[in-house]
A and B are shown apart, each in its own frame.
Chain A
């Protein structure tokens, strides 16, 4: 099992950031993917290399600010669980944490790399945009 974690401190209140990263259909606005479509509890994500991931949305907890999803129906991927947490760090700051557990373990690394790109984008969008 490969397990990886990336995080970013964002200079913005947790609710504002959560409304964005906790919206499954908005993934393509921050994560380096080319398309994202949500149908009920399913999400279909297209990567630049043409791969399409079918995902089950497992958790979307607005109180906890936690979003979890799994890649399913993929002959290569035996297990996957991704978790996005937005954790309040005072009224104008939060931490966004992206974790992935994956088998085959090595696939966790490029996904973590993409998460780093995504978290950088979230910072660019939200740093110093706290609602007063």
Chain B
């Protein structure tokens, strides 16, 4: 019997969301305990800051340029490498419960397996050749519409609450800008759904059910994937008492003074200010009819409060699953890996949501590896830069199988010494968006406590432009030093390292088959 793997992901969660990372609002004791007993990575970046490309990196162990899911709406090919397939071949039972999103959600033709099995209320398409190597899939996204299993479950069992969720899309199928709550903040809604029917608890309940179905001596890999705290911000209204929004301090990244805020934005690549002013919307997931410049301090407080509530519910749900694992007598043999796919502005720079903006708000993520206690690994905090591209190798390492040849990075390190030995010197992030003529391409490296972003030719930026931030002295990334002559050598060294280490992009780019 080997080590079992519980891989927990959230969606659109910041590094500072958790108590173990300095978060002071949401109470996350279960995740904090994983950190205390495991390895916590303080400089973990995704390889892309939206869902589908980032999740595709997790399952393939490849950079975006290689797996080719360059933007939301570009499906990961059915035959793409999958670490779940390798683990299954090694004898593991495999499951993905919650948000997958390797394939587009807007799929009226039901071309994609995720939607098709949800529509058919099946948990596997072909048991002999399960989709992406998962024996069992029960899928969810951010509400009760669409084809996925959770939506079907709500509509079958509790149809009276289906309409309580925020309507993610408006009548023109754009991401909804409608405001709600006390402050009329976009994508905020008071949701009357009972907590036990909310998707966070559903994901935990279905995970527990699947784990209970396994023989005691079976090795397993379970990807438990919470859709929260991604917008819309519509947690059960009965839970909002946990974090009254009026009591919240504004986040450090929110610049209250409008003039100062806009000066900071103007020093960045031009597409930042274009979005802030509502003139250049390059990411479908940001409501096209919402202008960030209208965001108020109270709206920032309310969005943050709802987010903290969602984070607490996730922590509660994780506690339920860990107790179920312990009840099976597996507690010493289970590795737990916790992360998210990308971050969220939550008011930083006067912005919400995400997009082509390579700063800590979106790139610095929670990542914790609590090795199975039987492995007797020492708890540590790792400062070295690491990325999701190392996850597949890490799962292979835990399972005792060779690192698959298709993966492009070593396993996660056990400590900073191990990081040096494994070669964790830098972490890379890419952005490509081409949406009805609005084009942004970015390539970013983080190394030696600097973040350097190179723009490629696009609608608003030109090759040769970029951003450079000194994380040690400018942790909020307010000062763009890309054109500062005093750090030119540093910048050029980072750019050379970026181009030397980024895999060549597989061309031609595959088609976008949906906006998301």
**Are B513 and A32 neighbours in the complex by a CB distance under 8 Å?**
no
User: Please, which residues of chain A bring their CB within 8 A of the CB of B174?
Assistant: 104, 106
**Are B436 and A110 neighbours in the complex by a CB distance under 8 Å?**
no
Q: Is A64 an interface residue (CB 8 A)?
A: no
**Are B512 and A109 neighbours in the complex by a CB distance under 8 Å?**
yes
What mask results when residues 88 to 132 of chain A are scored 1 for a CB within 8 Å of chain B, else 0? 000000000000000111110110111011000000000000000
A104-B174, A106-B174 known; A47+B511 contact, CB < 8 A? no
Q: How far is the CA of A116 from the CA of B75 in the complex (A)?
A: 13
A49-B147, A76-B171, A104-B174 known; A110+B110 contact, CB < 8 A? no
**Are B514 and A110 neighbours in the complex by a CB distance under 8 Å?**
yes
**Are A106 and B173 neighbours in the complex by a CB distance under 8 Å?**
yes
**Are A114 and B436 neighbours in the complex by a CB distance under 8 Å?**
no
Q: How far is the CA of A105 from the CA of B110 in the complex (A)?
A: 19
Point out the residue from B111, B172, B173, B511 that lies within 8 Å of A32, measured CB to CB.
B111
Point out the residue from B172, B284, B511 that lies within 8 Å of A113, measured CB to CB.
B511
The stretch from B101-109, B202-210, B309-317, B462-470 touching chain A is B101-109
**Are A112 and B110 neighbours in the complex by a CB distance under 8 Å?**
no
Which residues 58-110 of A sit at the B interface, judged by CB distance below 8 A? 76, 78, 103-107, 109-110
Point out the residue from B116, B119, B172 that lies within 8 Å of A104, measured CB to CB.
B172
Q: How far is the CA of A114 from the CA of B511 in the complex (A)?
A: 11
A2-B436, A104-B174, A106-B173 known; A47+B515 contact, CB < 8 A? no
**Are B513 and A113 neighbours in the complex by a CB distance under 8 Å?**
yes
**Are B173 and A113 neighbours in the complex by a CB distance under 8 Å?**
no
User: Please, which residues of chain A bring their CB within 8 A of the CB of B61?
Assistant: none
Q: How far is the CA of A108 from the CA of B52 in the complex (A)?
A: 20
Q: Is A26 an interface residue (CB 8 A)?
A: no
**Are B109 and A32 neighbours in the complex by a CB distance under 8 Å?**
yes
A76-B173, A104-B172 known; A47+B512 contact, CB < 8 A? no
A106-B515, A109-B514, A109-B515 known; A49+B171 contact, CB < 8 A? no
Is the interface on chain A under 10, 10 to 19, 20 to 34, or 35 or more residues? 20 to 34
User: Please, which residues of chain B bring their CB within 8 A of the CB of A105?
Assistant: 436
Q: How far is the CA of A111 from the CA of B424 in the complex (A)?
A: 43
Interface of A, helix, strand, loop or mixed by DSSP: mixed
**Are A114 and B119 neighbours in the complex by a CB distance under 8 Å?**
no
Point out the residue from B109, B171, B172, B173 that lies within 8 Å of A114, measured CB to CB.
B109
What mask results when residues 99 to 130 of chain B are scored 1 for a CB within 8 Å of chain A, else 0? 00000101111110001100100000000000
Q: Is A23 an interface residue (CB 8 A)?
A: no
User: Please, which residues of chain A bring their CB within 8 A of the CB of B343?
Assistant: none
Question: How many residue-residue contacts, CB under 8 A, span A and B?
Answer: 66
User: Please, which residues of chain B bring their CB within 8 A of the CB of A37?
Assistant: none
**Are A114 and B512 neighbours in the complex by a CB distance under 8 Å?**
no
User: Please, which residues of chain B bring their CB within 8 A of the CB of A114?
Assistant: 109, 111
Q: Is A8 an interface residue (CB 8 A)?
A: no
* B106, B109, B512, most chain A CB atoms within 10 A: B109
User: Please, which residues of chain A bring their CB within 8 A of the CB of B513?
Assistant: 109-110, 112-113, 116
**Are A6 and B511 neighbours in the complex by a CB distance under 8 Å?**
yes
Point out the residue from A32, A33, A113, A117 that lies within 8 Å of B514, measured CB to CB.
A113
Point out the residue from B104, B109, B173, B514 that lies within 8 Å of A49, measured CB to CB.
B109
User: Please, which residues of chain B bring their CB within 8 A of the CB of A104?
Assistant: 172-174
User: Please, which residues of chain A bring their CB within 8 A of the CB of B515?
Assistant: 106, 109
Q: Is B73 an interface residue (CB 8 A)?
A: yes
Chain B contacts to A: CB under 8 angstroms: 73, 104, 106-111, 115-116, 119, 147, 171-174, 284, 436, 511-515
22 contacts between A and B (CB under 8 A): A32-B109, A32-B111, A48-B109, A49-B108, A49-B110, A49-B147, A51-B108, A76-B173, A106-B106, A106-B174, A107-B173, A109-B106, A109-B513, A109-B515, A110-B104, A110-B108, A112-B513, A113-B109, A113-B111, A113-B513, A116-B511, A116-B513
Query: Lowest 9 A-B CB distances belong to which pairs?
Result: A113-B513, A48-B110, A106-B515, A104-B173, A104-B172, A114-B109, A49-B108, A106-B173, A32-B109
